[in-house]
């Protein structure tokens, strides 16, 4: 009679696993910055740079149903706010036939490019007669990040997902 072995799939969070989380992210002042429910969880491939490295470290090894609660310092999150990332930009670059007339509003986040063509988002801080003061720091720079949630699901990432660098199907990209 042949020997049979039952192979149990590893259901703990590890690199190259697709992870689904329900969570709340609050800031030091208690304000809710982001959330995902169990019905519409955050879905990502663990360990490939889709989340903050310190976040990956904190959830590594958790299993489906496990709850988590931890904080990341600003250094572990998006870093400290850098005053060099706050710049004055000539107002005339926001003019032209392809630029919406109402694009400049204090607090608006605008997609921009640096001199090398790299995409970056900037937040409008002030609008002057000749220039626009913009902040290119991440919106959560300088903030401690407080996460509380639970692990909804874990599965192996497919080779196609790993090759593409993102989740396919439910909760991911639909090709």
| pLDDT of the residue at 6 | 44
Which positions ≥6 away from 101 have C-beta within 8 Å?
none
Report d(CA 107, CA 134) in Å as an integer: 9
Where in the chain are the domains?
17-78+141-164, 83-135
Which one of 2.40.10.330, 3.10.129.10, 3.40.50.720, 3.20.20.70 gives the CATH number of domain 83-135? 2.40.10.330
Dihedral angle of Cα 160, 165, 170, 175, to the nearest 10 degrees: -60
Identical fold between 17-78+141-164 and 83-135: no
Q: What is the pLDDT of residues 72-105, one digit of tens each?
A: 999 999 999 999 999 999 999 988 888 888 889 9
Q: What is the pLDDT of residues 124-172, one digit of tens each?
A: 999 999 999 999 999 999 999 999 999 999 999 999 999 998 898 765 5
Class level of CATH domain 17-78+141-164: alpha beta
| pLDDT of the residue at 9 | 52
| pLDDT of the residue at 10 | 57
CB 79 within 8 A of CB 39: no
Partner residues linked to 45 by β-bridges: 18
Query: Buried (b) or exposed (e) across 115-145, using 16+ Cβ within 10 A?
Result: eeeeeeebbbeeeeeeebbbbbbbebbbbbb
Average pLDDT value for the chain: 90
Partner residues linked to 133 by β-bridges: 88, 126
Q: What is the pLDDT of residues 45-65, one digit of tens each?
A: 999 999 999 999 999 999 999
**3-class DSSP state of 109:** strand
Dihedral over Cα of 152, 161, 11, 76: its sign: negative
pTM of this structure: 0.79
Which positions ≥6 away from 175 have C-beta within 8 Å?
168
């Amino acid at each position: 009679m042949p020997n049979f072995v039952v192979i149990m799939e590893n259901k703990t969070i590890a690199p190259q696993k697709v992870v689904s989380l329900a969570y709340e992210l609050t800031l030091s002042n208690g304000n809710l910055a982001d959330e995902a429910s169990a019905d519409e969880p955050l879905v990502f491939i663990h360990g490939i740079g889709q989340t903050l490295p310190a976040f990956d470290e904190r959830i590594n090894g958790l299993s489906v149903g496990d709850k988590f609660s931890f904080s990341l310092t600003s250094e572990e999150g998006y870093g400290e706010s850098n005053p060099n990332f706050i710049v004055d930009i000539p107002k005339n670059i926001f003019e032209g036939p392809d630029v919406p007339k109402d694009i400049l509003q204090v607090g608006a986040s605008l997609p921009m490019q640096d001199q090398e063509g790299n995409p970056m988002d900037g937040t409008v801080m002030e609008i002057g007669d000749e220039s626009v003061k913009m902040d290119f720091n991440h919106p959560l720079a300088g903030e401690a990040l407080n996460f509380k949630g639970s692990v909804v699901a874990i599965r192996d990432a497919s080779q196609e997902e790993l090759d593409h660098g993102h989740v396919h199907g439910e909760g991911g990209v639909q090709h």
